């Protein structure tokens, strides 16, 4: 299994510029981290080879206006405060990281001259240091040059707890040193197999020291540049009305030759996903709309007009159900679903196993999500190397009935099963979103046929996904028996993503329900495997450990994965855009053009 995965990656390396054989020889000379280096090279090799969207225009400008529609409107433009994807997308127009993630999960240099690798000396053998070379000749929008000082400052800024940056997690445990004007060194305390977090992707956007220098720490929110960004991006800031409209114009000094193609940029907010899809696909009022959580049926119908097209790219996002093994209906020390309690029936693995058999994943994919998701039994699906091949799903009502019969749950006069007076009646919660309500109904109907009664509950998305401590309906509180949502995997590596399965991340009143482990289920073996994976430099062993964490939770049927989601966006037919499931929609905006 592992060999196959590795083989897949090696095949990718082969597609790249480097020969695998020569690389393995080099790696062997280095010693312990040879396979690790191989993985990194695989990343680099493909990134260099494919370079994403081929850029056709032969000169910068002349493309006219580009109009984007973000149906959730951006409200701020500082990438380090941008907790919402909408703000990250808007910030990325003006700011750039050292590298971004392309649609295949490869690193693609943006402000970096090259991607650090073993071969170019960017990565140390012990996995504790990364050296980044910054691209020479890059200028901020106000004409000042970009230097290593800006990168070092970005680290100081985001790592300072007083700044209260959203991205602080990527910076707080590292040290960054300036080597020379265009080189920085990132130093980790421990060997870190996944090093591409700081200065990469969403968390990595570099901000100018000469604009934010005075506003580090407690004064961070007062910086004028929070709403008037000065970055290095392909488009320069023109005007911004938070929650409504953002306009920008072409950066004539952009650091990539002949880029960008469009003269002006307009980002409009408001509306909902369906009307956004309509404005692009049917009326063509806008060129691009993101995050279209709409039934595929509806999108297909809009596409028939031929004005626009849908782009769906794979991502690590997963739509899944949590079965609550703690008791959501008993309050202990001021919180429900406390880990000190046990659910009367869902703590029985047989009930959970039966529920897993009652989800018709194939129909959900076929009739509701279409291109928006792929039915799966594994929590981690991308990159393929980390997907469990052992986990399988099945839809079988008879089998579920048999399991419940054998476990002693008998149907009562109302057709609902019970044992020792405890009925199989559950509240099933999710956010308001048409595909999710339909999925709920499909599951409810199957459960009915197995003698399980579900009460469906839907909470408006802004409440459900908020971190409001006072609200009982947020997803992290889990004050219900089961809930369904999508969790996003921000990087093409599942380590950070899988911290929602570890015991020290359990969401509770103590941590204001900010803990990442919403299911509250814990397992000693999973904890150990996760800790070991954090230090394991051998990519195969590391992948095996992370797969184990995933399998423990899925086999306990606490986490019931439904669909590996794709990211769906709409654009007019002649717009060429570079859509990646591993980075925000605007990650490579400079390369967009109209054909």
Residue 541 binding other proteins, by CB under 8 A = no
Residue 56 binding other proteins, by CB under 8 A = no
* Among the listed residues 41, 46, 138, 294, the single contact to other proteins using CB under 8 A: 294
A 10 A CB-CB count for 144 gives: 14
Residue 457 binding other proteins, by CB under 8 A = yes
304-343 footprint of other proteins as x/- string (CB under 8 A): ----------------------------------------
Residue 301 binding other proteins, by CB under 8 A = yes
Nearer to other proteins, 407 or 442 (CB): 442
* Among the listed residues 82, 198, 298, 359, the single contact to other proteins using CB under 8 A: 298
Q: Please name which of 70, 71, 90, 67 lies closest in space to residue 287, comparing C-alpha atoms.
A: 67
Q: Please tell me whether residue 316 adopts helix, strand or coil conformation.
A: strand
132-171 footprint of other proteins as x/- string (CB under 8 A): ----------------------------------------
Q: How many CA atoms lie within 13 A of 170 on its CB side?
A: 23
Backbone angles phi, psi at 410, to 5 degrees: -105, 145
Residue 297 binding other proteins, by CB under 8 A = yes
CA distances from 60 to 90, 167, 223, 251, 260 (A): 21, 33, 32, 9, 5
Nearer to other proteins, 455 or 525 (CB): 455
Could you tell me which stretch among 172-180, 202-210, 245-253, 456-464 binds other proteins (CB under 8 A)?
A: 456-464
Per CB under 8 A, contacts with other proteins among 417-446 are 432, 434, 437-438, 440-442, 444-445
E strand or H helix that includes residue 26: helix 20-30
Q: Please name which of 324, 402, 316 lies closest in space to residue 560, comparing C-alpha atoms.
A: 324
Distance between CA 175 and CA 40 in Å, rounded?
22
* Among the listed residues 19, 83, 120, 460, the single contact to other proteins using CB under 8 A: 460
Nearer to other proteins, 58 or 304 (CB): 304
E strand or H helix that includes residue 406: helix 397-406
Per CB under 8 A, contacts with other proteins among 274-293 are 274
Nearer to other proteins, 36 or 475 (CB): 475
Could you tell me which stretch among 11-19, 111-119, 249-257, 453-461 binds other proteins (CB under 8 A)?
A: 453-461
Nearer to other proteins, 381 or 476 (CB): 476
> Beta strand 245-250 with 65-70: parallel, antiparallel or unpaired?
unpaired
The sign of the CA dihedral 43, 49, 54, 58 is positive
Residue 412 binding other proteins, by CB under 8 A = no
CA distances from 175 to 155, 213, 235, 360 (A): 8, 18, 31, 48
Nearer to other proteins, 11 or 432 (CB): 432
361-380 footprint of other proteins as x/- string (CB under 8 A): --x--xx-------------
The sign of the CA dihedral 300, 306, 312, 318 is negative
Q: Please name which of 307, 293, 301, 289 lies closest in space to residue 579, comparing C-alpha atoms.
A: 289
For the record, the structure tokens of 261 come out as: 């193609």
Nearer to other proteins, 219 or 301 (CB): 301
Distance between CA 86 and CA 80 in Å, rounded?
13
Could you tell me which stretch among 97-105, 296-304, 535-543, 570-578 binds other proteins (CB under 8 A)?
A: 296-304
CB-based contact 490:167 (threshold 8 Å): no
Could you tell me which stretch among 26-34, 455-463, 490-498, 566-574 binds other proteins (CB under 8 A)?
A: 455-463
Sort 446 into a burial class: Cβ within 10 Å, 0-12 / 13-18 / 19+: buried
A 10 A CB-CB count for 569 gives: 21
Least separation in angstroms between residue 363's CB and other proteins is 6
User: Where on the chain is the footprint of other proteins (CB under 8 A)?
Assistant: 274, 294-295, 297-298, 301, 363, 366-367, 432, 434, 437-438, 440-442, 444-445, 448, 455-460, 471-472
């Amino acid at each position: 299994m592992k060999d196959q995965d590795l083989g897949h990656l090696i095949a990718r390396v082969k597609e790249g510029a480097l020969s695998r054989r020569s690389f393995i020889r080099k790696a062997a000379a280095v010693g312990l981290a040879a396979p690790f280096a191989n993985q990194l090279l695989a990343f680099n090799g493909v990134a260099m080879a494919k370079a994403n969207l081929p850029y056709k225009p032969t000169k910068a400008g002349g493309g006219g206006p580009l109009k984007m529609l973000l149906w959730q409107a951006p409200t701020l433009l500082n990438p380090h405060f941008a907790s919402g994807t909408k703000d990250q997308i808007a910030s990325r127009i003006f700011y750039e990281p050292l590298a971004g993630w392309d649609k295949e999960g490869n690193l693609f240099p943006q402000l970096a001259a090259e991607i650090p690798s073993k071969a170019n000396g960017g990565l140390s053998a012990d996995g504790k240091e990364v050296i980044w070379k910054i691209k020479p000749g890059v200028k901020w929008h106000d004409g000042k040059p970009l230097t290593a000082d800006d990168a070092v400052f970005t680290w100081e800024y985001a790592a300072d707890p007083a700044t209260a940056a959203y991205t602080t997690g990527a910076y707080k445990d590292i040290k960054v040193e300036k080597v020379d004007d265009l080189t920085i060194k990132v130093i980790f305390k421990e060997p870190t197999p996944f090093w591409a977090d700081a200065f990469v992707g969403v968390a990595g956007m570099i901000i100018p020291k000469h604009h934010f220098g005075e506003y580090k720490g407690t004064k961070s929110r007062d910086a004028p540049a929070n709403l008037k960004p000065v970055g290095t991006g392909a488009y320069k800031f023109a005007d911004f009305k938070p929650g409504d409209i953002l306009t920008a114009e072409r950066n004539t000094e952009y650091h990539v030759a002949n880029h960008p193609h469009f003269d002006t940029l307009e980002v409009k907010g408001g509306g909902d996903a369906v009307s956004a899809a309509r404005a692009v696909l049917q009326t063509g009022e806008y060129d691009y709309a993101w995050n279209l959580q709409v039934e595929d049926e509806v999108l297909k119908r809009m596409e028939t007009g031929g004005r626009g097209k849908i782009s769906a790219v794979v991502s690590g996002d997963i739509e899944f159900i949590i079965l609550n093994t703690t008791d959501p209906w008993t309050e202990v020390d001021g919180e429900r679903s406390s880990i000190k309690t046990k659910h009367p029936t869902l703590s029985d693995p047989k009930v959970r196993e039966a529920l897993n058999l009652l989800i018709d994943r194939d129909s959900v994919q076929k009739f509701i999500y279409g291109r928006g998701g792929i039915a799966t039994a594994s929590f981690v699906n991308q990159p393929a190397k980390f997907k469990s091949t052992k986990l399988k799903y099945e839809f079988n009502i008879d089998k579920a009935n048999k399991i419940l019969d054998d476990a002693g749950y008998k149907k009562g006069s109302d057709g609902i099963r019970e044992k020792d007076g405890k009925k199989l009646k559950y509240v099933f919660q999710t956010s308001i979103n048409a595909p999710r309500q339909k999925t709920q109904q499909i599951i409810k109907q199957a459960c009915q046929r197995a003698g399980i009664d579900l009460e469906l509950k839907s909470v408006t998305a802004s409440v459900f996904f908020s971190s409001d401590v006072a609200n009982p309906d947020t997803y992290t509180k889990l004050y219900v028996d089961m809930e369904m949502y999508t969790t996003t995997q921000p990087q093409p590596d599942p380590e950070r993503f899988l911290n929602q399965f570890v015991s020290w991340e359990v969401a509770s009143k103590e941590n204001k329900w900010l803990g990442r482990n919403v299911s509250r289920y814990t397992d000693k073996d999973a904890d150990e495997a996760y800790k070991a994976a954090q230090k394991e430099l051998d990519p195969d062993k590391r992948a095996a450990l992370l797969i184990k964490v995933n399998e423990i939770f899925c086999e306990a049927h606490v986490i019931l994965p439904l669909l590996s989601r794709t990211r769906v966006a709409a654009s007019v037919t002649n717009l060429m855009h570079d859509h990646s499931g591993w980075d925000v929609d605007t990650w490579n905006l400079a390369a967009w053009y109209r054909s």
